[in-house]
């Protein structure tokens, strides 16, 4: 394991060099967070389909429990139970439109992960940055449990647990636990835990910050021990169900799956779950007594329990929906935690937007009316009032608006329509609109994935836990 | 599957070109022998250990159900449930001694399989050919069920079911079903089914030929259907037990394994089996109520059922030992079939040699005394008398000797001591003599293998069933 330990030290040093101006030391946070003995226990996966680009190159890395799809290059990195999705890569010959620019893509885009340590991180490559079209880089970066790196190239950064960077190129930044950043480009910033920040320079700026004391009971992370709180307990309590599906080579599909839908072989499906047409259930999704109507999706690391999604609903990476009814076209953003109770269910009206990193955790029945947007910490009807608005009203904001802990500047109309366009793109990309061979998306393309498994060097030498160089190409 | 079918046609054509002088057409034999639909069902394995050289390069091939270890290059080939062992490869810097020659090995040896179709074949690379030290080639070759290619480079050949080429370089040859050839170099020969031929040019020549009618009830192969007979029935009857061990990711070891022994994760172990020190049990071995004494081994595709091996016994690739007691230091050669009955057990005395491709199938108790050699078809005491001799008597032959269907020419002493040296090498290589960290062999080196699994392109395109290019290097 000597090599693994050297690799850990190397990565930590490189990240610290990048973060020196912020005087941020990742060593006490990362040290012993995942013991090297743990990194030798699991195997990695790569998916091969007839529809996805293929070029995987792994060198001098540990990949334990991680899943890869598409064109991915991993060098000198530790990837622990991460999902690296290369299914929305640009291709040579594409024309990338950005404002008034039309930029030709001159080689197939690939994900490149170098000198980085990602723990249970979801990496999705739908990248927007016009400065780096061919390489989606993650370099000198450390990310912790259930962070999302979503279309966000990253260089020299630290991401706290359950944080998300979304369509943002980040350089030399620290993103605190449960912070969500969608801001185009940022550098040399330390974002406090529990910050929800959506910015389009010159157009709008949305900012919410969680009260620290309340946030700490959901997610709390300091050096010396793993992240703690309700989020971690919730996930840990359901860990065993995943172990069972990794222990067998072939798994019986426990539910009817329509021919135009797809259920990943590494999703957990508990009884009384129903999967509608054009539905996508991704790997590491957890469904229990869940009804997914036509075109709904359940993305990586999401949990849908005792809940009904009427159709064309989006459950983004890491979102949790418990004891809830969702009308049609509801968007539930990254790592949101929506928890009703058996006698106090949540109802989310049709066409509503639950902002990324929203916590609705109520012991009373709560209803968000149709066509509303909600954000932040909502534990009762009063919170709901402070932390939601109708989309119509929100669209009418045109300068500056404050409500509770939320501050908005700019055009509410732009903000709402940017969200709605994004939602439309997500549904389309996931295959929700598929019909008679048109509008094929992930739900249709992911049906016949061959899952390959890779193991590290076994016990008995300095290389233990490292993977050999592995190249997979057409 | 279009590509798979094209590949099949290409291989068949190339082999037929090589075999044109023999007017041998492999097409009717191979056509539909393994339906392409069958080739898409299984995944391939490669083993990684700290002790074995690593360099696997697969291109434009199907590998379904095959197992690889060491440095192996596979191009334009169909490998169906074959075992390719690269654990006795020469290394750059080795000095290869052959008669008066000392030849430096100038690069690491690798197995290269090209334009070939191997069905359930064991390939072991302990190669002797001084003309090709760095490449162990299998080219334009077709081999069928349970053939062994053992230290035998092959170019342009057809191998029938349960045939073995051993330490023989073969070019443009047809080896009939259940024939065993150990002859140095041969070319443009058609060897009839059931031939056992061991030759050292200028030194000795051993030849036995099975009576065709009796052989046919054990193994019979003509075009248009798979091989038939007792051998195939025996193996097919036990197929399900293997299916069970391939269905799970991690398997509980069902028996105590001493720390200096190794039991492969893909062996079948049925109850009441006991594994002694320094024992090697290879993948696809089948043990049921078997006692393996210190230093005994059970090689690929062997079956040991209701039998006791006292120690330092060799069960070569594909050998079957049923209802039998073996004394110490017994060698049971390739694909031999030794079957006693519950009330008519076989006894093989210590230090005896069962020649490769020997059938002892008796309904009466039979005993081969210690220090004897046996060969050919033995069904009762009379057969045993005709088809065995004491090693001492055999060693005294010095010109020409005939007994039953066996003809021997040359030095019996050389023949016996060549065998004994070989047996010593096999025990040593397999780790039978391991003690206090000395004489480490496969039994000790194979303990910590990481088994990786590879899958072909899934349904949905011309590539279905082909594997992508896969490269695995240190």
A461 and A377 assigned to the same domain: no
Mean pLDDT of A7-29: 97
Interchain CB distance below 8 Å, A452 and B453: yes
Whether chain B has a CB inside 8 Å of the CB on A259: the answer is: no
pLDDT per residue as tens digits for the range B15-55? 999 999 999 999 999 998 999 889 988 999 999 988 888 99
Question: Does residue A12 sit in the same domain as residue A47?
Answer: yes
Rounded to an integer, the average pLDDT of A433-455 is 90
The verdict on residue A89 lying in a domain is yes
Q: B205 and B263: one domain?
A: no
User: What is the average pLDDT score of chain B?
Assistant: 95
Instruction: Give the model's pLDDT for residue A103.
Output: 94
Residues in chain B with CB shorter than 8 Å from the CB of A54 are 468
Residue with tokens 């069960």: B315
CB < 8 Å to B454, chain A: 452
Residues A290 and A389 reside in one and the same domain = yes
- How many angstroms separate the Cα of A90 from the Cα of each of A126, B365, B468? 9, 73, 21
Say yes or no to pLDDT of B172 above 90. Answer: yes
**How far is residue B136 CA from its own chain's centroid?**
16
Cβ of B457 within 8 Å of Cβ of A250? The answer is: no
**Residues in A touching B470 (Cβ below 8 Å):** 470-472
What is the average pLDDT across B465-469?
94
Distance, in Å, from the CA atom of A354 to the CA atom of B52, rounded to the nearest integer, reads 54
Instruction: Kindly state whether residues A311 and A459 are assigned to the same domain.
Output: no
Shortest distance, CA B466 to any CA of chain A (angstroms): 10
Residues of B whose CB is below 8 A from A451: 455
Q: Structural domain tally of chain A?
A: 2
Are residues A473 and B469, on separate chains, in Cβ contact within 8 Å? yes
Residue A403 lies in a domain: no
The string of pLDDT tens digits covering residues B98-132 is 989 999 999 999 999 999 999 999 999 988 899 99
Indicate if the pLDDT at residue A257 is higher than 90. yes
- Which of A54, A248, A460 comes nearest B248 by C-beta? A248
- pLDDT at position A445 is 86
A407 SS3 class:
strand
Structure token digits, residue B67: 């197992």
Quick one: pLDDT at residue B205? Answer: 98
Are the CB atoms for A288 and A320 separated by under 8 Å?
Answer: no
Which residue in chain A has the smallest CA separation from B460?
A: A50
* Confidence check: pLDDT of B68 > 90: yes
**Nearest Cβ partner for B457 among A50, A461, A473:** A50
Q: Is residue A57 predicted with pLDDT exceeding 90?
A: yes
Q: Do B203 and B76 belong to one domain?
A: yes
pLDDT band, very low/low/confident/very high, at A254 (cuts 50, 70, 90): confident
Q: Looking at the structure, do residues B366 and B423 belong to the same domain, yes or no?
A: yes
Say if A386 is an interface residue toward chain B (CB within 8 Å).
no
DSSP string, B313-376: -EE-TT-EEEEEEE-TT-EE-TT-EEE-BTTB-EEE-TT-EE-TT-EEE-SS-EEEPTTEEE-S
- Decide if B405 is inside a domain: no
Whether B448 contacts chain A with CB within 8 A: yes
CA B90 to the chain's CA centroid: 20
Is pLDDT at B459 greater than 90 in this prediction?
no
How close A36 comes to chain B (CA, Å)? 17
Check residue A310 and give its pLDDT.
Answer: 98
Q: Would an 8 Å CB–CB cutoff place A264 in contact with chain B?
A: no
Distance CA A270, CA A286 (A): 8
pLDDT value at residue A59: 96
A43 CB neighbours in chain B (<8 A) are 452
Q: Band of the pLDDT at B249, cuts 50, 70, 90?
A: confident
- At residue A303 the predicted structure's pLDDT band, cuts being 50, 70 and 90, is very high
**Confidence grade of residue B254 (pLDDT, cut at 50, 70, 90):** confident
pLDDT tens track for A115-133: 999 999 999 998 889 999 9
Query: Residue A360's domain is classified under what CATH number?
Result: 2.160.10.10
Show residues of chain A in contact with B459, CB under 8 Å. 50, 448
Q: What is the b/e burial string over B357-368, where b = at least 16 CB atoms within 10 angstroms of the residue's CB? A: bbbbbbeeebeb
A269 with A224, same domain: the answer is no
- Which residue of chain A comes nearest to B470, CA vs CA? A472
Query: pLDDT tier at A41 (50, 70, 90 boundaries)?
Result: confident
CB spacing of B450 vs A457 below 8 angstroms: yes
Q: How is residue B118 written in tokens?
A: 């191997």
Residue with tokens 């066996």: B406
User: Residues A458, A310: one domain?
Assistant: no
Nearest to B50 among A49, A458, A472 (CB): A458
CA distance B445 to chain A (A): 10
CA of A332 vs chain B CAs: smallest distance (Å)? 33
- pLDDT at position B250 over 80: no
Whether residue B167 is contained in a domain is answered as: yes
Report the residue from A51, A452, A458 with minimal CB separation from B450.
A458
Q: How far is B249 from chain A (nearest CA, A)?
A: 5
Q: What are the tens digits of pLDDT across the range A327-373?
A: 999 999 999 999 999 999 999 999 999 999 999 999 999 999 999 99
> Lowest-confidence range among A460-464, B238-242, B395-399?
A460-464
Contact B444, B431 (CB under 8 A): yes
Report yes or no on A256 lying in a domain. Answer: yes
Cβ within 8 Å, pair B249-A248: yes
The model's pLDDT over B296-334, given as tens digits with 9 standing for 90+, comes to 999 999 999 999 999 999 999 999 999 999 999 999 999
Q: Which residues pair with B111 in a beta bridge?
A: B72, B136
Say which residue, A75 or B458, is predicted with more confidence.
A75
Mean of per-residue pLDDT scores for chain A: 95
**Which of B455, B469, B473 has its CB closest to that of A450?**
B455
Quote the crossing angle between the two packed helices A239-246 and A230-237, to the nearest 10°.
40
Q: Is residue B228 part of a domain?
A: yes
Output B340 or A50, whichever has higher pLDDT.
Answer: B340
**With an 8 Å Cβ cutoff, is A453 touching chain B?**
yes
Domain extent at residue A291 = 238-398+416-445
- Whether pLDDT at A135 is above 90: yes
Q: What is the pLDDT of residue A197?
A: 98
Q: What ipTM was predicted for this assembly?
A: 0.83
- Model confidence band, residue A451 (pLDDT cutoffs 50, 70, 90): confident
Residue B154 in any domain: the answer is: yes
Note the pLDDT of residue A119. Answer: 97
Percent of chain B with pLDDT over 90: 87
Q: Is B44 on the interface with A (CB under 8 A)?
A: no
Residue B223, pLDDT above cutoff 90: no
**Half-sphere exposure at residue A371, Cβ-oriented, CA atoms within 13 angstroms:** 6
| Spatial contact of A458 and B448, defined as CB atoms under 8 Å apart | yes
Is B1 a residue whose pLDDT tops 80? no
Residues A196 and A264 in one domain: no
Chain A residues close to B460, C-beta within 8 Å? 49-51, 448
**Contact: A49, B458; criterion CB under 8 Å:** yes
CA neighbor of B142 nearest in space, from B5, B8, B317 = B8
Spatial separation of the C-alpha atoms in residues A101 and A5, rounded to whole Å: 45
B259 touches chain A (CB under 8 A): no
Of A36-50, A199-213, B148-162, B359-373, where does mean pLDDT reach its minimum?
Answer: A36-50
pLDDT at position A77: 98
A271 touches chain B (CB under 8 A): no
Query: Do B343 and B456 sit in the same domain of this protein?
Result: no
Would the pLDDT of A447 be above 90? Answer: no
Residue A8 Cα to chain centre, angstroms: 24
Contacts of B128 (CB under 8 A, 6+ apart): B98, B151, B167
- Percentage of residues of chain B with pLDDT beyond 70: 100
Inter-chain contact A49–B460, Cβ cutoff 8 Å? yes
Which of A43, A249, A464 lies nearest to residue B248, judging by beta carbons? A249
For the ranges A218-222, A417-421, A459-463, B44-48, the lowest mean pLDDT is seen at A459-463
The answer to whether residue A37 neighbours chain B at the CB level (below 8 Å) is no
Is the Cβ–Cβ distance between A387 and A406 less than 8 Å?
Answer: yes
Residue of higher predicted confidence among B355 and B52: B355
In a domain, B409, yes or no: no
Query: Quick check: A342 contacting B, CB < 8 Å?
Result: no
pLDDT, tens digit, for every residue of A95-121? 999 989 999 999 999 999 999 999 999
Mean pLDDT, to the nearest integer, of B401-416? 97
B243 touching A (Cβ < 8 Å): no
Contact list, B250 vs chain A (CB under 8 Å): 247
Q: How far is B77 from chain A (nearest CA, A)?
A: 16
Inspect the interface and report whether the beta carbons of A464 and B50 lie closer than 8 Å: yes
Whether the CB of B426 is below 8 Å from some CB of chain A: the reply is no
pTM (predicted TM-score): 0.89
Instruction: Give the one of B449, B452, B472 whose C-beta lies nearest to A469's C-beta.
Output: B472
**Neighbouring-strand partners of residue B369:** none
Same domain, B208 and B293: no
- Cβ of B450 within 8 Å of Cβ of A469? The answer is no
CB contact under 8 A, B470 and A474: no
Using a 10 angstrom Cβ sphere, with 0-12 exposed, 13-18 middle and 19 or more buried, the burial of residue B237 is exposed
The shortest C-alpha distance from B36 to chain A (Å) reads 17
Over residues A46-70, the mean pLDDT reads: 92
Contact residues, chain B, for A461 at CB < 8 Å: 50
Nearest to A470 among B451, B453, B472 (CB): B472
* In the predicted structure, residue B402 carries a pLDDT above the cut 90: yes
User: B79 to chain A, minimum CA–CA distance in Å?
Assistant: 18
């Amino acid at each position: 394991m000597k090599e693994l330990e050297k690799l850990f030290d190397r990565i930590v040093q490189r990240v610290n060099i990048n973060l020196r101006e912020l005087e941020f030391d990742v060593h006490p946070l990362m040290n012993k967070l995942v013991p090297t003995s743990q990194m030798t226990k699991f195997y990695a996966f790569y998916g091969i389909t007839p529809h996805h680009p293929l070029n995987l190159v792994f060198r001098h890395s540990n990949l334990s429990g991680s899943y890869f799809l598409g064109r991915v290059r991993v060098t000198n990195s530790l990837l622990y139970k991460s999902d690296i999705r290369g299914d929305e890569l640009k291709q040579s010959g594409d024309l990338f439109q950005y404002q008034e620019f039309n930029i030709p893509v001159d080689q197939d885009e690939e994900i490149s992960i170098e000198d980085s340590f990602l723990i249970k991180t979801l990496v999705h490559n739908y990248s927007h940055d016009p400065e780096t079209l061919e390489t989606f880089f993650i370099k000198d970066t450390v990310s912790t449990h259930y962070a999302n790196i979503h279309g966000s190239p990253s260089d020299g950064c630290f991401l706290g647990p359950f944080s998300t960077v979304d369509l943002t190129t980040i350089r030399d930044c620290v993103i605190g636990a449960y912070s969500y950043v969608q801001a185009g480009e940022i550098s040399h910033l330390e974002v406090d835990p529990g910050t929800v920040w959506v910015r389009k320079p010159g157009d709008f700026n949305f900012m919410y910050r969680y009260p620290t004391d309340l946030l700490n009971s959901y997610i709390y992370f300091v050096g010396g021990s793993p992240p703690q709180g309700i989020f971690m307990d919730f996930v840990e309590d359901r860990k065993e169900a995943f172990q069972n599906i990794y222990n067998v080579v072939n798994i019986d599909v426990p539910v009817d799956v329509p021919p135009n839908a797809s259920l990943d072989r590494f999703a957990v499906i508990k009884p009384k779950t129903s999967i509608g047409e054009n539905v996508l259930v991704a790997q590491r999704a957890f469904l229990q007594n869940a009804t997914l109507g036509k075109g709904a999706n359940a993305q990586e690391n999401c949990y849908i329990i005792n809940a009904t999604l009427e159709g064309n609903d989006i459950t983004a990476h890491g979102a949790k929906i418990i004891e809830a009814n969702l009308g049609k076209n509801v968007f539930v953003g990254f790592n949101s935690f929506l928890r009703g109770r058996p006698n106090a269910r949540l109802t989310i009206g049709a066409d509503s937007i639950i902002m990324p990193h929203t916590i609705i955790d109520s012991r009373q029945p709560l209803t968000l009316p149709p066509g509303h947007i909600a954000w932040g910490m909502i534990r009762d009807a009063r919170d709901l009032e402070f932390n939601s608005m109708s989309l119509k009203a929100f669209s009418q904001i045109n300068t500056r608006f404050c409500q509770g802990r939320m501050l908005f500047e700019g055009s509410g109309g732009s903000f709402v329509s940017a969200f709605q366009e994004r939602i439309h793109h997500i549904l389309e990309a996931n295959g929700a609109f598929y019909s008679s061979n048109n509008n094929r998306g992930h739900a249709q393309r992911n049906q016949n994935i061959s899952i390959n498994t890779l193991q590290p060097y076994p016990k008995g030498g300095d290389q233990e836990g490292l993977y050999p160089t592995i190249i997979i190409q057409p």
